[in-house]
Each structure stands twice: as structure tokens, then as C-alpha cells.
Structure 1
Amino acid sequence: MNVAVVTVGDELLAGRTANTNATWLAERLTDRGVTVERVTTIPDRVGDIARVVNEYRAEYDAVIVTGGLGPTHDDVTMDGVAAAVGRPLEPHDGALEWLANEGGYSREDLTNGTGTLPAGSRALHNTEGVAPGVVLENIYVLPGVPAEMKTMFEEIAPEFNGVTTHRAVVVADEPESALIDRLAELRSQFDVSVGSYPGESVRVAIESPDRETVEAAAEWFEKRVESPA
């Protein structure tokens, strides 16, 4: 299963808010064996949201969108998602009933638009806040508030599954350029993916769906590099 994550918010693009949602989602999805192939941040603009979501829903098994849910003028994610799939926004009886029965909000209590969702969508109830999320075709729309997003994602997490990837990291106390030949040999000897990440030392990440292959490759490589003291 391959997934794109789209985070919506002018404050993310301006650097005023750290994009912790993207990091958390990528980690949780990877843990479930899902391949995250795109993480994209876009502004609070209906046209941008519609264009990116429409592109990604055709290209990936699922698109997760976070942020821009609520009653304020810049909460336009639902408008963008509805435009992406060519559906109108309309009051969602299931979302409004849940807010009334579980949240204690009558329709008169809610700010205009709170329970207005794309036609035909499945509502995701917000147990940590008010604004509901939705599932529409292969698009999952979650709140931007981290606590709300995390709780809502855990409710739908079983819908995201793939092949678990095993990982080992070998630290080499050598310049990355000096490891090129040994990294090439590692890839030729073992059916693994390899990434190297330089810093004070070089971290070499070895991954494969097969645990024994990862362990054997890591042991082989570790014997051929200088380890930190």
C-alpha cells in the first residue's frame, strides 16, 4: 500500500508551526508496512487543495489530508476535497447526530458549517474536539490539531496495512565517500535497500521485508567498516 500525506496550512509554510503531523503519520504508517511516497504541504487555498488531492488520489492507494477543518475563514480543506472529487458540501446527518448525542451539541450550538461534509462521505468522529473528519473514496481528511489527528487516525489505522519492513543501522566512523565501494558490494551481496546518512559518523540503514536478510547484511557490513570508539 502506498500513501501520500498532505498537510494544509499557511502557518506550516511560514515556519510558525512545526509540521509534527507529517512526521508522526509517516512513522505510524511505516510501522504498519505502508510506503509513504509523498509528504506535501500546501496553503489554505481551495484550488491548491483540490489540485493536489485530485492528482494524488489517482496516483496512490490513499491520501491522508490534515489541517484546515473548522468554522473559521481559512478552514477550507473540506471545500478543496469536495472540489477534487466533484461533489457538493451538505449537512451530514450522521456527524450532526453524533455531535448531538456524544458531544452534547445541538445544531443550534454549532458554528455554521461544522457538520457540513462532502456528499457521500463517511464521517470520522472527533472525540478530542468538534470538527469531524471524513473518508471519501481513498481520501482521509483529519484535523490539524495533533491530539485530535492522532486519536482519529488510530480509529482508522486498521485500514492501512502493508508488508512490514525490518531495519538495522550500522554506524561507520569513516567518510561517506570512502564507503562507496563497500556500499555497492553490500547491495550486490544482499537483497536489501540501503541508505547512508552522514554526520559526525555515517549511519547506514539496511532494510528488507526479511528479518534474517537484514541481520546477515548488517553483520557483514559491520565487519567491514570502522566503528566509532
Structure 2
Amino acid sequence: MNVAVVTVGDELLAGRTTNTNATWLCERLVERGVSVERVTTVPDRIGDIARVVNEYRAEYDAVIVTGGLGPTHDDVTMEGVAAALGRDLVEHEEALAWLEESGYSRADLTEGTADLPAGSRALHNEKGVAPGAAVEGIYVLPGVPTEMRTMFESIESAFTGAQTYRVEVVANEPESALLDRIADVRERFDVTVGSYPGGSVRLVVGGTDEATVEAAAAWLRERVDQPE
């Protein structure tokens, strides 16, 4: 299963808010064996949201959108998703009923709180008010991290893939000097190798067969200079 993550918010693009939602989602998805192919941040503009969601829903198995939920002037994510699907934005009766059962009076809710793309399944917000939505492989979640994480946990069973195993090998050599051994290990074993330089170089060996990954990591470990 391959997935695209879209985070919405002017504050993310301005650097005023750290995009922890994208990092958390990627970690959880990869743990479930899902391949995250894109992470994109867009401003609070209906046209930008609609264009990116429409492109990604045609290209990937699922699209997760976070941020911009609610009834305020800059909460336009639901409208953008509705535009991407060519659907109207309508008041969702089930979402309103759930909010009532949770202690929110309809009269006290701001107009538009429960407006979702027509035909959506409402995703209830256990930690907040504004509901999320699931429609045509698009999952719309809140931007508040506690709300987003709780809502994702209610739907994470929809995201599955082959278990991936990873083993890290640390090399005390320049990255450029390791290229031949990286090529060799990939040729000998059915694995991927990520190379991440810093004080040392972290070589992350990955694959779907645990024994193969372990063997490839052991092969590499014997052929690189390791920190003392």
C-alpha cells in the first residue's frame, strides 16, 4: 500500500509551527508496512488543497490530509477536499448526532462545524470537536496533534502492507568511500540501503525478509570501519 500525506496550514509554511504530524504519521505508517511516497505541505487555500488532493488520489492508494478543520475563516480543508472530488460540502447528520451525545448542543455549535464532503463517513473527534472524514480513499484529520493521533488510531487498520525490517550499521568513513560496498551489498542481497551522513555515516539496511536483512547488515558490518 502506498500513501501520500498532505499537511495544511500557513503556519507550517511560515515556520511558526513544527510539522510533527507528518513525522508521526510517517513513522506509524511505515511501522504498518505502508510505503509513504509523498509528504506535501500546502497553504490554507481551497484551490491548492483541491489540486494536490486530486493529483494524489489518482496516484496513490490513500491520501491522508491533516489540518484546517473547523468552522473558522481559515479552516478550508473540507471545502478543498470536496472540490477535489467534485462534491458539495453538506451538514453531516451523524456527526452532529455524535456531538450531541458527547455533550455539545447543536445550538451552541458554530455553523459549519459538521460540514463534510457529501457521502463522507464521519470520523469522530474524541479529543476535540471538529469531525474528520473518510471518502474515496481520502482521510481528513485534525491538525491539533493530540486530536490527529487519536483519530488516526481509530482508522489505522485501513493501512496495511508487508512488514519491513531495518538494521543500522554505523561506518566511520566518508560517505563517498562507501559507495562500492553499498552497491555490492545491494547486488548480493535483496535489500535497500539508506545512507545518512553526520559525524559518522549511518547505513540503514531494509527489506521484507528479516533473515536477509540481518545477513546483509552483518556482511556490511565486516567491511566498514566502525566507530570505536
Deviates more, 1:209-218 or 1:181-190: 181-190
* Distance in 1 between residues matched to 2:164 and 2:79, nearest whole Å: 36
Deviation at 1:2? 0.2
Q: Is there any run of 5+ residues in structure 2 with no aligned partner, and where?
A: none
Counterpart for residue 142 of structure 2? 143
SS of the counterpart of 1:15?
A: coil
SS of the counterpart of 1:181?
A: helix
Deviations 1:133-171 (A, max 9, x none): 000111000000000000000000000000011000000
Say if 2:186 is the partner of 1:204.
no
1:28-177 to 2 correspondence within 5 Å? 28-102=28-102, 104-177=103-176
Deviation at 1:114? 0.2
SS of the counterpart of 1:108?
A: helix
* Distance in 2 between residues matched to 1:72 and 1:90, nearest whole Å: 16
Aligned residues: 228
* Distance in 1 between residues matched to 2:87 and 2:5, nearest whole Å: 21
Deviation at 1:183? 1.1
Q: Provide the TM-score with structure 1 as the length reference.
A: 0.99
Q: Provide the TM-score with structure 2 as the length reference.
A: 0.99
Deviation at 1:33? 0.3
Deviation at 1:107? 1.3
* Distance in 2 between residues matched to 1:163 and 1:59, nearest whole Å: 20
Please tell me the root mean square deviation across aligned C-alpha atoms, in Å: 0.5
Counterpart for residue 9 of structure 1? 9
Q: Is there any run of 5+ residues in structure 1 with no aligned partner, and where?
A: none
Amino acid at match of 1:222: R
Q: Which runs of 4+ in 1 moved over 2 A?
A: none
- Identical columns (%): 72
Counterpart for residue 195 of structure 1? 194
* Distance in 2 between residues matched to 1:127 and 1:187, nearest whole Å: 45
SS of the counterpart of 1:205?
A: strand
Deviation at 1:110? 0.2
Say if 2:33 is the partner of 1:19.
no
